[in-house]
Amino acid sequence: MTTFNKLFYNHAKYASQRPSYNPQLADYLIKYHLSIPGNVCDVVVDAATGSGIFARLISKHFKSVFATDVSAKMLSVATQSEDGGAPIQYIESGAESMPMISDSSVDMITVATGAHWFNPEKFLQEARRILKPNGTIAIFGISYGYFPDYPQCDKLIFELGFEKLGKYWDPGTHILDGLYSKYNTLMREQGFKDVYMGYHPHQAKLHVGPNGNLLDEPYVINTKLTWGSLLNYISTWSSIANYHLDHPNERNIAEVYVEKIMSAAGETDMDAPVRYDWGQSLVICRK
């Protein structure tokens, strides 16, 4: 069971504080998908939809949207928002088995910062079953970022994530730490076509390995932050909630580390903007 499926986790806070994805990303995926003659945009499945952030974004491009997640609590939050696209059918389901979806019926599968929760081999097998010929899989997400104006702060965000919170992350987080490069490898091994992996910024290459390409823009996410909104985002990490179950009397560790980062940057105003290069990647392929 992931932290998001547990009763103590603040699902509403997650939905309100998580950054949104770059609207350009949906356009990028549609362009990739429609570059094959005969491909259409009828049905999309957004797996591990969480609070439905990307399902709502991609719904503007499709006629029918299935948004699946194993967390009923997350889905209850997702259903409270609509964004003017196609109707979204929210379904409590894992991504490795979606029996409610027929064989060869789906044009695109998207997974927004969620594919690290899956059994990768089983997910790709199920994706192959439900996708139409030449259907698209798009796996993308965000990880630790970088401070271009304050490079001395980079080590602190990694120190928090790896050293302080390392054992409090749910199983599978190492796949996200590798920016989904595992899927880049598996897709090629399993015979998917036109596999492409892009990452941003250039520092993220360290986590990607071979067959990765530097994106010319941050297509996945380009949300602008203040120091306060950076704190709010870090506070949504599942590891923070798990950490404080073990340390209930400690001050919020997200606050402690954002203060450390701000001190290293010589900043004191929580409302001041801060440039933050989101570590991000995109892995796409066709059936």
Residue that the structure tokens 């954002």 belong to: 258
Tell me the backbone φ, ψ of residue 200, rounded to 5 degrees: -160, 145
- 3-state secondary structure string, 101-126? CCCCCEEEEEEECCHHHCCHHHHHHH
Please state, in angstroms and as integers, the Cα–Cα distance from residue 24 to each residue in 15, 58, 224, following that order: 21, 11, 15
Dig out the tokens for 207 from the structure: 């986590």
pTM of the shown model? 0.90
pLDDT per residue rounded down to tens, the chain (287 residues)? 454 444 444 444 444 456 789 989 999 999 999 999 999 999 999 999 998 999 999 999 999 999 999 988 889 888 887 666 789 999 999 999 999 999 999 999 999 999 999 999 999 999 999 999 999 999 999 999 999 999 999 999 999 999 999 999 988 999 999 999 999 999 999 999 999 999 999 999 988 988 899 999 999 999 899 999 999 999 988 899 999 999 999 999 999 999 999 999 999 999 999 999 999 999 999 99
Smallest Cα–Cα separation from 44: which of 57, 62, 29? 62
Domains and CATH numbers, the chain: 3-286 (3.40.50.150)
**Angle CA(193)–CA(194)–CA(197) in degrees, nearest 5?**
120
d(CA 142, CA 285): 19
- Say if CB 29 and CB 55 are below 8 A apart: no
